[in-house]
């Protein structure tokens, strides 16, 4: 539903507003931040930082060494790349996650973490003592703010309403790919009304459908502020970043 694209562009918008930002790929199923930004040699990334955190050796120097500085328009942010071997997901243990987040909070004003959507409990593996989706739930439990991204067509809305039951953390709603072609007249109002009636929640943001701008971003391996600066999607994500700062 565009969570990786949203995470990337939120991070760049916050950095452009003068904040020290860390963008972290914590997906244990589909890590994608590094390739999206054209980083072909991501290095140890999050697994290296988790190992140091587990050993109590995580400091600013190690954070800088194992993350990537991404510079743009006289600004920069730090990218912590995702895992490159998906069978190592069990290395995301609770203690290491807590220490990693503590270290990132000291280093950055804002930490944007791209997580998996799967939250179902009870999925176990013979190779690990933790459940398959437990790392994602640990990150959510320790987050100071959770953005839940929903699609905007009837099928995606229905799916979100089922999946969000697994989300124990408080969250704020953001609708992605908002368009009248699947909802008819005034899709933004329809989404606001639907989610308020069914969940009792206001929408924090509504992001328009803009596949051509997203394609340009992927083609150039750049955020929207560089690849499609004047697009409506870029402006909506910038406004979302401003709303997050204000609230």
The Cα 144–Cα 124 span in angstroms is: 28
Residue 128's pLDDT band (boundaries 50, 70, 90)?
confident
The arithmetic mean of pLDDT across residues 154-159, rounded, is 95
Q: What percent of the chain has pLDDT over 90?
A: 93
Task: Give yes or no for residue 55 having a pLDDT over 70.
Answer: yes
- Tell the burial category of 47 from Cβ atoms under 10 Å away from its Cβ (0-12, 13-18, 19+): buried
Helix (H, G, I), strand (E, B) or coil at 144: coil
Roughly what angle, to the nearest 10 degrees, separates helices 187-199 and 154-163? 20
Task: Give yes or no for residue 63 having a pLDDT over 80.
Answer: yes
The arithmetic mean of pLDDT across residues 8-25, rounded, is 98
Q: What is the pLDDT of residues 137-150, one digit of tens each?
A: 999 999 999 999 99
The arithmetic mean of pLDDT across residues 27-47, rounded, is 95
Q: What is the mean pLDDT of the chain?
A: 95
User: What's the pLDDT at 194?
Assistant: 96
Give the CA-trace dihedral at 142, 39, 236, 179, to 10 degrees: -100
Q: What percent of the chain has pLDDT over 70?
A: 100
User: What's the pLDDT at 124?
Assistant: 86
Roughly what angle, to the nearest 10 degrees, separates helices 45-55 and 94-107? 100
User: What's the pLDDT at 140?
Assistant: 97
Regarding beta strands 75-80 and 68-72, do their DSSP bridges make them parallel or antiparallel, or are they unpaired?
Answer: antiparallel
Q: What is the pLDDT of residues 206-232, one digit of tens each?
A: 999 999 999 999 999 999 999 999 999
């Amino acid at each position: 539903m565009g969570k990786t694209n949203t995470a990337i562009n939120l991070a760049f918008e916050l950095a452009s507003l003068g904040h020290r930002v860390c963008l972290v790929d914590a997906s244990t199923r589909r890590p994608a931040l590094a390739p999206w930004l054209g980083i072909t040699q991501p290095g140890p990334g999050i697994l290296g930082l988790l190992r140091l955190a587990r050993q109590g050796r995580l400091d600013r120097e190690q954070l800088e060494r194992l993350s990537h500085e991404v510079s743009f328009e006289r600004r920069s942010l730090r990218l912590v790349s995702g895992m490159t071997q998906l069978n190592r997901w069990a290395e995301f243990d609770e203690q290491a996650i807590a220490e990693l987040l503590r270290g990132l909070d000291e280093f950055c004003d804002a930490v944007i973490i791209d997580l998996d959507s799967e939250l179902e409990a009870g999925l176990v593996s013979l190779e690990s003592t933790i459940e398959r989706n437990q790392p994602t739930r640990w990150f959510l439990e320790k987050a100071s703010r959770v953005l839940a991204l929903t699609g905007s067509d009837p099928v995606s809305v229905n799916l979100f309403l089922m999946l969000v039951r697994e989300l124990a953390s408080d969250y704020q709603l953001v609708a992605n790919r908002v368009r009248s072609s699947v909802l008819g007249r005034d899709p933004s109002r329809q989404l606001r009304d639907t989610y308020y009636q069914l969940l009792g929640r206001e929408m924090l943001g509504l992001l328009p459908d803009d596949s051509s701008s997203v394609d340009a971003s992927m083609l150039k391996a750049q955020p929207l502020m560089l690849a499609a600066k004047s697009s409506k999607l870029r402006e909506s994500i910038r406004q979302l970043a401003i709303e997050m700062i204000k609230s």
